[in-house]
A and B are shown apart, each in its own frame.
Chain A
Amino acid sequence: MSFLAQTFALTATALRSIGERRGAALVTVIGVTSVAGVLVSLLAMSNGARSLGGASAAPDEVVILGNAASSSMQSVLTRDEALAVKGAPGIRRAPDGTPYYTATTMVSVDAIRSNGKRGSVALVGFTPGVRLFDPPRLIEGRLYRPGVHELVVSDPIRKMYRGLELGHHITLRGTEWAVVGVFASSGTVNDSILAADADTVMSAFGRNAYQQVLVKLASPAAYPAFKKWVLTNPALAVQVKTEKDDLNETFAGFNQLFEYVAYFIGGVMACGAVFGALNSLYASVDARRRDLATLRAIGFGGAPIIASVLIEGMLLALPGALLGAAIAWMLFDGHVVSTQGLVLKLDVTPQLLVVSILWALVIGLLGASLPALRAARLQVAVALRAT
């Protein structure tokens, strides 16, 4: 018989006898399921963190931050500086001449989570120009009006916190703010905010400076000239970055942390699953010692035996990968979690299923490696005599 035929025959007999080793086989399947489930869930969270980054940012959007600020949270931009940016060349204009320009200010606001715990959300004030940018899609109510204490809330925030339903009022610094609208989740950092008019927010909170300015250029090619004009303007002590770079810098560490945690925990759990698989396959090989010895005696080679045990290991691990990914998908896909004032949308993508299957195959291979060697090294005479 050829190598392939022998391997196939051996694998088939091994799988047929799996019913007699239900316990050990189930341990492998469940072990791999838990690894895959946890890994896929954590990576789904890391996907959510990644979408906060700049991947989805338009290439022609540019951010102006105060000097030496490492992120928009620490940035201070005076009214004069923010206004001066408006005169820069290359800013796209609406047909009526209004520039695509918005200055923003951010206030961190405590709110109570639906589980009773305290969390914080960002109340972001935008100057009116924000309407020219891709506006968040309102799904209920209407947009806030300038000069009145009104705000709109993202759909995930509304669901996650108490008292932020449409029509509710929240009291901040002795002023009542009305929730007048709800906008749809976009998977970006905007999911984590309450939005309002910048000047209204600044006067209510006694602020006299913005944090950043966002502009849209006529084309990405206008960026170098725009940047040069801003940086060489003596009235401006600011930094210029593309929106993409700014988001990437702000959230890079966050995203890395999640990936690091996911692979660390997944790795430790996978080690445990490998030990479980080793046990299961040793049991499989031991239970078939006499059969294997008989097959060796009638001319089966060592290589097909090794191959068949390795295949058995991977076949045992595979259902775990699918099951674990499926459980993670059912429980968590589209689910939102909040940490440090940011809303993350868990995103179970097909890539994660591939990652999960790859991990399972590696776990299966490693778990089958030593048992396969034992099976191949079987001393025919000894094994046949054993009971």
Chain B
Amino acid sequence: MKFLPLIWAGMWRKRSRAVLMLLQIATAFVLFGVLQGLDTGVSEVIAESHADRLYVSSSVAVGDPLPMGLLARIRSVPGVEYVTERADFGGTYQSPQQPVSITTADAALLFKVYDEVKVAPAAVRALAADRTGAIVGDVSMRKFGWKVGERIVVASGLPKSDGSHDWVFDIVGVYDFPDHPENSAAIIANFAYLNESRLTGRDHADMFVVKVDHPADADAVGLAIDNAFANSSNETHTQSEAELQAAQLQQLGDLDFIVHAIIGAVFFALLFATGALMMQAVRERVPELAVLKTVGFTDRGILALILAESVAFCIVAAAIGLGVSVFLLPLARQLFSGIRHMPDIVFVEGGACALALALIGASIPAWRGSRLEVVDALAGR
């Protein structure tokens, strides 16, 4: 620890160069933080999903319609506590630039399956009693300035049997996902209303959502459901919430590879930069290093000194870069939903990358510095 001032002084030996290098490394870590933050942020969302929820969808693809007849059969599978049909559709409110999404289900059961949602029991009862009722997420309530009791009209591509495309909803309450406010945007309405009003696709749901008695049995229950419909024309594919989200992520396809390729290119360039910088720094300090050796520093001591300097430098730069990326990440969130904050693991990964960068970049200069012959170095040979 007593060498800390020495290391510090070494870092700032040439101020303008050190500042520029610091900025260069920091910039790389800004990018690392944002890209890796997006990448890991999405998987973290998956990790905290609910293990007691299963999604029964068509084996063709998620969202491919399944007949309502499956509902009774799923309900009778042992271990199923609640199950509700679910069908989602989209529309716009007032202008084509204001999209809204509508989730329809058996309202009372839906809120039992999604039991983490904050909603007044009276509102759920009111929704069950009012065919055209809707419980709206507080994000949309605030965004559009809606009030409970208000009647809203949503234009949708989904035609009604009377030929109109205007879907009317009476707002009877508000819900909120306390942990995930970004999920509180959809309008929740009665499946029965959708089903009897729509022109096409009657008596079919997009999926069935199941809550199991015991999370530990979720896999077995899922398998039992799929087995019940095996080899029928309505084969199902039951997934946990985590699997469903992972599958949606896989739809992003090669973007994962692209993120890693970019980070790879950035660090490859950076490795050369740190290496060259340390090489230059060591070359300029040959006489100083020789003096240190003369006063008793060992080869290994010099090696450690140069490496420590490089590590300290890269860690400081990485910390600055990651700090900036924490503020930039929320901007990227507009593009990819689901990420709220920088996952902690990114800081750990960033630290590890900085360490690797510093050690690899400084290895050759440090080795050279440690192998100096004192007499030659002092003589300037």
Contacts and interface: CB of A to CB of B under 8 A. Distances in A.
A148 to B, nearest CB: 17
B266 A339 contact: no
Nearest to B257: A337
Interface in B174-214: 199-201, 204
Given A27-B272, A68-B92, A272-B266, A74 B158 contact: yes
A69 interface: yes
A283 B280 contact: yes
A76 B158 contact: yes
A281 B254 CA distance: 38
Nearest to B156: A68
A275 B251 contact: no
A24 B258 contact: no
Contacts of A173: 58-60, 233-235
A12 interface: no
A15 to B, nearest CB: 18
Nearest to A111: B61
A337 B254 CA distance: 6
Interface in B7-53: 16-17, 20-21, 23-24, 27-28, 30-31, 34-35
Highest count of chain B CB atoms <10 Å: which of A107, A257, A276:
A276
Interface string A253-296: 00001001100010011011101101100110000000000000
Contacts, number: 179
Given A119-B253, A339-B251, A339-B253, A31 B269 contact: yes
B31 A275 contact: no
Contacts of A67: 157, 159, 165
B173 to A, nearest CB: 26
Nearest to A79: B200
- The number of chain B residues touching the other chain, given as a range, is 35 or more
Given A107-B60, A108-B61, A76 B199 contact: yes
A172 B60 CA distance: 6
A110 B61 contact: yes
Contacts of B273: 27, 30-31, 276, 279
Nearest to B29: A272
Contacts of A265: 31, 35, 262
Contacts of B23: 271-272, 275
B276 A337 contact: no
Interface in A199-239: 205-209, 237
Interface in B200-233: 200-201, 204, 231-233
B335 interface: yes
Interface stretch (A33-41, A86-94, A130-138, A240-248): A33-41
B360 to A, nearest CB: 15
Given A34-B269, A118-B247, A108 B64 contact: yes
A175 B23 CA distance: 60
A70 interface: yes
A357 B252 CA distance: 31
Contacts of A273: 269
A194 B110 CA distance: 36
B350 to A, nearest CB: 15
A70 B250 contact: no
Contact of A38 (B20, B21, B250, B262): B262
B163 interface: yes
B276 A23 contact: yes
A260 B31 CA distance: 14
A219 B63 CA distance: 39
Given A38-B262, A268-B27, A68 B91 contact: yes
Contacts of B255: 339
A347 to B, nearest CB: 15
Nearest to A81: B159
A16 interface: no
Given A69-B157, A110-B60, A175-B233, A276 B254 contact: no
B153 to A, nearest CB: 11
Contacts of B268: 30, 34
A117 B250 contact: yes
B157 A174 contact: no
Interface in A121-169: none
B60 A109 contact: yes
B277 interface: yes
Contacts of A75: 157
A338 B255 CA distance: 8
Contacts of A175: 233
A341 B251 contact: yes
Contacts of A99: none
A66 interface: yes
A31 to B, nearest CB: 5
Given A69-B157, A70-B90, A337-B258, A78 B200 contact: yes
Contacts of A283: 17, 280
B354 interface: no
Contacts of B35: 265
B101 to A, nearest CB: 11
B279 A23 contact: yes
Contact of B27 (A110, A118, A260, A271): A271
A76 B204 CA distance: 15
B254 A338 contact: yes
B96 interface: yes
Contacts of A276: 20, 24, 269, 273
Interface string B266-284: 1011101101110110000
Interface in A179-204: none
Given A27-B273, A76-B200, A117-B250, A174 B235 contact: yes
A26 interface: yes
A351 interface: no
A120 B24 contact: no
A2 interface: no
Given A30-B272, A34-B269, A173-B60, A339 B254 contact: yes
Contacts of A74: 89-90, 156-158
B136 interface: no
B289 interface: no
B72 interface: no
B65 interface: yes
Contacts of A117: 250, 253
18 contacts: A24-B280, A31-B272, A38-B266, A42-B258, A65-B157, A66-B165, A74-B89, A74-B158, A110-B59, A174-B235, A208-B200, A272-B28, A272-B269, A276-B24, A279-B21, A339-B251, A340-B253, A341-B251
Interface of A: 23-24, 26-27, 30-31, 33-35, 37-38, 41-42, 45, 65-70, 74-76, 78, 107-110, 113, 117-120, 172-175, 205-209, 237, 257, 260-261, 265, 268-269, 271-273, 275-276, 278-279, 282-283, 337-341
Pairs A-B, 3 closest by C-beta atoms: A69-B157, A23-B276, A272-B27
